A and B are shown apart, each in its own frame.
Chain A
């Protein structure tokens, strides 16, 4: 009689983990002001505490690191329409709620200024200064028609999912 032996799925052996939690990886998927803010706050703080820190910018997140003075990106009409409807740059981010056609973010920035909360642009500058690696997703860049020169200075080589996964293997990873 034939017996089916249930074999447990075999995991791919991995390299022994390095010291836990010495690394932080944030996947910045969104370009909402209220998501980029905590992303940059956590990344700068992690770097300030000696953690090796990487922000992997993918999908909408990429628009948050488009230069503030770059208006239209893309090579074809669809990619250009995307940029028209979704202007990139830290100075043009929208709130995920209470956006009110830009009045919400304006009030939020005013409140932040009054309370001396660093703006996303300031935090991005600090992040670069503290050695936070800013990695754009190659596939999304191609998809959205974003070029290296559209992105802010100090952004690293575009990379793929495997590079992100490799980075995440021994890191605390957040998807924001």
Chain B
């Protein structure tokens, strides 16, 4: 099964709390099941996205790192 990412958010360079806050804002307009890809460079975002997913019930499908860029794939609850 291929995952179709419907929204991509380039949040590279932004500091806490903007990666989380901007992701949450962007997800308001989506429907359940939509996939969002987030790129960020804030090292704190690794723990923060995991915590945010637990708090909101959105599913963190991927949390990976390429060089200094972190990639998160989230499925909207």
Contact = CB atoms under 8 A, between A and B. Distances in A.
Interface of A: 41, 44-45, 47-51, 115-118, 123, 126, 129-130
Given A126-B21, A129-B25, A49 B14 contact: no
B51 to A, nearest CB: 8
B20 interface: yes
A19 B24 CA distance: 22
Interface residues of B, number: 15
Contacts, number: 41
Nearest to B56: A50
A80 B24 CA distance: 41
7 contacts: A48-B24, A48-B52, A49-B51, A49-B56, A50-B55, A116-B18, A129-B25
Nearest to A127: B21
Interface string B1-34: 0000000000001111110110111000000000
A44 B48 CA distance: 13
B21 to A, nearest CB: 5
Contacts of B17: 41, 44-45, 48, 118, 123
A125 to B, nearest CB: 11
Contacts of B51: 49
A48 B25 CA distance: 7
Contacts of B18: 116, 118
A48 B24 CA distance: 5
Contact of A45 (B13, B14, B15, B21): B21
Contacts of B52: 48-49
B21 A130 contact: yes
Nearest to B12: A116
Given A116-B18, A118-B18, A49 B24 contact: yes
A45 B56 contact: no
B21 A44 contact: yes
Interface in B23-51: 23-25, 51
Contacts of A129: 25
A129 B28 CA distance: 11
